[in-house]
Structure 1
Amino acid sequence: MKQLLTGNEAAAESAVYAGCRYYYGYPITPQNELINYMSVRMPQVKGTFIQAESEIAAISMVHGSAAAGGRAMTSSSSPGISLKQEGISYLAGSELPCVIVNIQRGGPGLGDISASQADYFQSVKGGGHGDYRLIVLAPSSVQEMADLVYDAFDLADRYCNPVLILGDAQIGQLMEPVEFKKEFRENLPLKDWALTGADNRSRRIIKSFYSVKGELEVFNAKLQNKYKEIEKNEVRYEAVNIDEADVVLVAYGTSARICKEAMRKSAQFEFRVGLIRPITLWPFPGEYIRKISERVKCLLAVEMSAGQMVEDVRLAVEGRCPVHFYGRTGGGVPTSLEIINKIVEILPKNMAAKTPLPFAGVK
C-alpha cells in the first residue's frame, strides 16, 4: 500500500523497516521531519530515541550502539554533518556499521535552508581525518529515499562500514507516494564481533587506536582492500537515452530530476541528450562514464554547487571528450531551460548552427 510521505519521513520509516532500533539526532532544518518521525516511531517498535545535546554527542551515541551490534542511525543537515566528522572517522576507523543521513542545505557557514549539493566533497572524499571512505548513496525521489535507506543498513553490515545517504532540502521535504515492499525486520542475526559482554566467549576488541609502530599501516592496508571490494561490487547508476546521445548529462539527486525534464524538452531539437545518474557517489561509476565518453560529443555535469562532482567526471573521462559544467550555488536550483541553453552553448559549432534557440536569454 502506498503512503504519501516526505523524503525525510520515508527515510525514517524505511530505517524502522530495516531493523534500526537506535536513533540519535539533534534538530536542524531541513531534516527536522526525520527526527520528529523517529521520536514517535522508535518507542512504538521498542527502540531507543535520544535527542542528544549536540551533533557530536549524537554521532558518539551511534558509535556505542553500533559497537554493541545494534542497527544505529543519525541524521542532520550540512553544518551538523560537519560537526559529526570526527565521530564518522572514528566509526570508519573502528569498522562499525551505521547509517548517516545528510539533507543538505545551502552553505558555506550557516548558509540558508534551501536545497544544495555542495557537500559532495565532504561526503565522497572523507570529511574527517585519515584514509577512509564512506559508501555514499544519492536518492532522487521519495521512493528511492526509502529503498536506499533500507539497502544502506545491509551494505553497512556487509562491509562493516558507515553508509551516508546524501539528499537535499527538496528531496527531504518533497512529498510523493511511497511503498515499503521489503521485509519488516525485527530479529536480525547476531554479530560475532559485537561487544555484548564476555562471560561465555573470548574477548572482543573494537578500536581505532594502534600504538605499536606498523600496526596502523597494516590496518589501513586492510581498509583499502575492503574499499576495492566495495568498488568492484557496489557501483550503482541509472543510464537514460545513452545509445544515440550526442551530449550526456551527468547529475544526481534533485539535479538529475531537472535534467530528465531538460531531456524531454530537448527532444524537438536535432541533437540527442542522454543522462547518467550516479546512485552511488562512492563508489563512483567512473568506468561506465569512461566508456560513454569514447563515443559522445561531450559531457555536461549539472550540480547545485560551484562544481564538485564534475572533478570525478573529468577524472573518469581522462580527456577523451570535453567535460563541461553548469551549476547554481547557495540554494539556487538549475532550471531545465538553463540546462538546454547550456547544451546549445557547448555543442560543436556544426551542430549548434542547426539548432533553433527559442530559449536564448531565459534564466
Structure 2
Amino acid sequence: MAVIRELLAVPMQTGATSDIQSGIARKAGVLWCTRHRDESARSRAVMVFVHPSSNFMAHYALDPLAHLGIDAVGMTTRYLGNESALQLENCVVDIGSVLHHLREEGYEQIVLAGNSGGGGLVALYQDQARKATITSPPAGGAPDLTQAVLPPADALVMLMAHPGRSSVLTEKIDPAIVDEADPFRRDPELDLFDPNHGPPYSEEFLERYRAAQLERNRRITAWTQARLAELPELSDGRVDDLPFVVHGTMADPRNLDLSLDPSDRKATTQWGPPYRANLTPATLAHFTTLRSWQSQWSYDLSNGHGPTRLREVDVPVHVVYGTADPGCYPGHARSLYDAVPHDRKLLTPVVGGGHYLYGQPEQLDFTVRLLADWTRSL
C-alpha cells in the first residue's frame, strides 16, 4: 500500500489577533495540517492528532495508520511555535475548524486524538462541542465558544496524555522558589533536590510539598489578576496583556522517586535530568502572558482539566499510556479513564512505551495497530 501525504490549508473561524507572533500567520488566517492516506482510496474514518502548540504535521502515527487503511491528519493550532500567548479556548475553535473541514470532505467518522498535552484539550473540545457553555477565556475577551462551529468528534483517544496543562504544571512547579525573579533563592525546607529530603520522600514532606505547589500556582494567578486590573490605567487602555517568566517548572517528586505512582519509567524527564529540566528554558510553561496563564496554567481558572470535561462525554474513549513514560503516569491515565461516565471506554498500557515511542518500533507498531483496530470497531 502506497501512502500519499497531502497538505491541508484550513481557514480559521475567527480572525487571528496579535496573540499570534507571526505576522504572516495573522494575515493568512490558515491552520496547516497534513493528511496521510492510501493513494488508492480515502477511508471512511479519519484520526486527527492534536496538541495545543506542538507541530503534529509529522506525528509518528500518521504514516503507519495510513498503511493500515486509516486516514490520519496531524494538525497545528494557531499557536504553533508561540506557546507563550496560547489560550485554550482558541485551540478549541481551531479544532472545530479542522473537524468542520473534514466533515465537509465527507468523512463519516472522526476520531480526535489528544497526545500528551492534547489529552485535556480534546476533552475540553468534546465537552464544548456537545454543549457549549464557555463565553470567554478566564481573563475575558474572545472567543465565545457558544458562537463557534464545533462539530463533535465520534470518538476520543487520550495518547500518552496527562489530565491537563493546569494540573500537570501544578504537579511539577517548584515550590522552593521564593522569589519569582530569582530561581536560586530557595526555601530549603521545600527543596526537592536536597538529598536530605529524599528520594524516597516522606509522606510528611510530600504533603507540605504538594500544598506549597498549589499555593505557588494560586499566588501567580492572583498576581496576574491584579496586574490585568491595573493595565487599563497604566497603559491608557492601549495594552491588555503582558508577558512574564515562570522559573522552576519541572520539579515533580515522581521524576525522582519511582515509588510514587510506580511504573517502568526511569528517574528522569522528557527533557533530561530533573534539576536541569526544572530550570532550562525549553521545558514547560517558562514563558507566558497574564491572559495565557489564566487560560492554560492556572489551577483554579483554566477550563482545560480533562477529567472534569469528560464527566458527561457520550462518545467512545480510549486512554492509551506508556508504562515507561517519564512525564505522563499511570495515575494520569486512570484519572482520565475513571472520569468517563459510560462503559464504552478502554484503558490500555503500552508495555515499555516512552512518551514519544522514539526508537521503540515494537511499541509503536503495537500502538498504531491498537488504534487502527479500535477505530474500525467503532
Scaled by the length of structure 1, the TM-score of the pair is 0.28
Scaled by the length of structure 2, the TM-score of the pair is 0.27
